[in-house]
Chain A
Amino acid sequence: GAVVSQHPSRVICKSGTSVKIECRSLDFQATTMFWYRQFPKQSLMLMATSNEGSKATYEQGVEKDKFLINHASLTLSTLTVTSAHPEDSSFYICSAVLDLTLHFGNGTRLTVT
């Protein structure tokens, strides 16, 4: 069964609004989760590393004020896309590591109109 649950799977929002994506580890505690972004026909790009109880570590070029990450508990990390623009439309996916194995959420397809 799923080890990492991501919600929602699809979301359509209007420009200027904010969207929150949740990533939950099921039946295990994840002190670290990873958020990726994938454009069509491109590889995954790491956006940030989410650390429970502390600030997220953002990759170069990723705006931390635009992509807010909160890892308030050992089983939940959230990514909020603030003031979304059409260019933020993409596939966002989270992952966590359990027993040296990568586990991914099913991803969230965000469309900003």
Chain B
Amino acid sequence: KNEVEQSPQNLTAQEGEFITINCSYSVGISALHWLQQHPGGGIVSLFMLSSGKKKHGRLIATINIQEKHSSLHITASHPRDSAVYICAVYGATNKLIFGTGTLLAVQP
């Protein structure tokens, strides 16, 4: 079992839909990152969380430390949101542990 699990692995949505991607982890962490990987491979950091909730534009990220769970929400999804979304945590060794990613396709 991976230390960082994401669900779903693949997600297809219609433009405008509300999207949720989940991340569960089994290790103690100091922080959690949500990353977006574009089809060409480039990666952009969306959020870093250690508690609570953060919002940036149409993106919202939440984390529940007790439940070892984080969610990434996208409101009013758009085809340009199509990408792979990756959850990564800083574990006890202070190294990033990556989830396998969620491939999101938003259809017009």
Interface residues of A (CB under 8 A from B): 34, 38, 42-46, 49, 91, 93, 95, 100-107, 109
Contact = CB atoms under 8 A, between A and B. Distances in A.
Nearest to B42: A106
B48 A104 contact: no
Enumerate the 6 nearest inter-chain pairs by beta-carbon distance, A residue then B residue, closest first: A104-B43, A107-B41, A43-B98, A106-B42, A102-B45, A43-B100
A44 B88 CA distance: 10
Given A43-B86, A43-B101, A104 B44 contact: yes
B45 A106 contact: no
Given A43-B101, A101-B45, A107-B43, 19 more contacts: A43-B86, A43-B98, A43-B100, A44-B86, A44-B88, A44-B98, A45-B98, A46-B95, A93-B43, A100-B48, A102-B45, A102-B48, A102-B96, A104-B35, A104-B43, A106-B40, A106-B41, A106-B42, A107-B40
23 contacts: A34-B96, A42-B100, A43-B86, A43-B99, A43-B100, A45-B98, A91-B41, A93-B43, A100-B48, A101-B45, A102-B33, A102-B45, A103-B45, A104-B35, A104-B42, A104-B43, A104-B44, A106-B41, A106-B42, A107-B41, A107-B42, A107-B43, A109-B41
